[in-house]
Amino acid sequence: MFSKKPNVRKVPIPLLFALAVLIGATVILVVQVSVMPPPPAVVAPLDSDASALTSGSQTFTYSVSVFLGRTLVYTNLAALGHVSLSANTTGWHYQVNDWVFTVIRRTTDDGTITLPSGVALDIHHINSTHALVVHRGRNTALITKIVGTGSWHVYHPVAAAYTTSLTTAITGYMSSKGLTALYVFQPKYDYIEFDRNTKTYRVYFDYVDSSGSVTARGYSLTNSTNFVPIPSGSGVIPGGTHFVIDSNNVALAPIWVLLVLTPTADVNSGLTVEPQLPP
């Protein structure tokens, strides 16, 4: 004898609740929602190659040797976004500002996103692999390489030569926005410096005019705000670096690092930059 299989039908959820009320049963509805967070940061040491940071968010460690009797001043762009900074010696400091931004997005089309401060960030694609990310409040820009990770696209800052196609893309963007100049930051060692005497931090930008003429390091921004010390042996997570605009767009602010050290003996000083998921 074969038993007849029962006739099973999917009951719509509203009807399921109505049925529960009708017969006095208890219905427990479990809804599982999986949310894939975007990469929390772009680890972007100066002169690094984005192709070596395929997810845009690996840990990175700086190692600097300082010799007895010498004072070392070392400046760098540590990262953009939500990271933990830890050092094996005192003498390291960090600062967060809004001079440039980059983005992590679900799409790769041109567009504008607005920060909580009201400042707009324009994303203008140069080609299928690279884009400009422009801070409209300052008209500063990054040239970025688009790196895919999961369902997200990381716009990773890279250094670039001003080819005809790049300057054409930049001037085309400027023309569409009515701009006469754009200031492009190149993630290179000679684009940031710290004056130990005046305690002034300077970031240089290439000056690009509406004709496409480029003056390397022709514009700069300075800041004498005190850097925040990084205690030796413990991690610090700087605030104000990670802005979730909506479910498809995240903006990342830069973290600049500084080492000023006059050691009492030869020392190898190190700083580790590690992405952290936002709380």
Residue 6 placed within a domain: no
Phi-psi region of 56 (alpha: psi -120 to 50; beta: other; left: phi over 0): left
Residue 258 placed within a domain: yes
Q: Tell me, what's the pLDDT at 33?
A: 56
Which percentage of the chain shows pLDDT scores above 90?
Answer: 73
Question: What angle (nearest 5°) sits at the alpha carbon of residue 30, between those of residues 24 and 36?
Answer: 165
Compute the radius of gyration of the chain from its Cα atoms: 25
Summarize pLDDT for 81-117 with one digit per residue, the tens. Answer: 999 999 999 999 999 999 999 999 999 999 999 999 9
Q: What is the DSSP annotation of 235-257?
A: EE--SS-EEEEETTEEEE-EEEE
* Ordered strands of the 267-275 beta sheet: 60-66, 267-275, 83-87, 235-236
How many structural domains comprise the chain? 1
How many of the other CB atoms lie within 10 Å of CB of 184? 25
What is the identity of the amino acid at 26?
T
Query: Can you give the residue range of the structural domain that contains 153?
Result: 41-275
Residue 144 placed within a domain: yes
What is the tally of helices (H) and strands (E) in the chain? 2, 21
Summarize pLDDT for 151-210 with one digit per residue, the tens. Answer: 899 999 999 999 999 999 999 999 999 999 999 999 999 999 999 888 899 999 999 999
- Are the CB atoms for 238 and 85 separated by under 8 Å? yes
| Cα–Cα nearest to 187, from 141, 230, 237, 251 | 141
CA–CA separation, 4 and 6 (whole Å): 6
CA–CA separation, 250 and 182 (whole Å): 23
- Are the CB atoms for 156 and 144 separated by under 8 Å? yes
Residue 270 in tokens: 């190190």
Residue 20 placed within a domain: no
- Are the CB atoms for 135 and 124 separated by under 8 Å? no
**Where residue 126 falls among pLDDT bands split at 50, 70, 90?**
very high
pTM for the structure as a whole:
0.85
Average pLDDT, the chain: 88
Residue 18 placed within a domain: no
Residue 31 placed within a domain: no
Sign of the dihedral defined by the CA atoms of residues 57, 98, 194, 188, in that order: positive
Residue 140 placed within a domain: yes
Residue 265 placed within a domain: yes
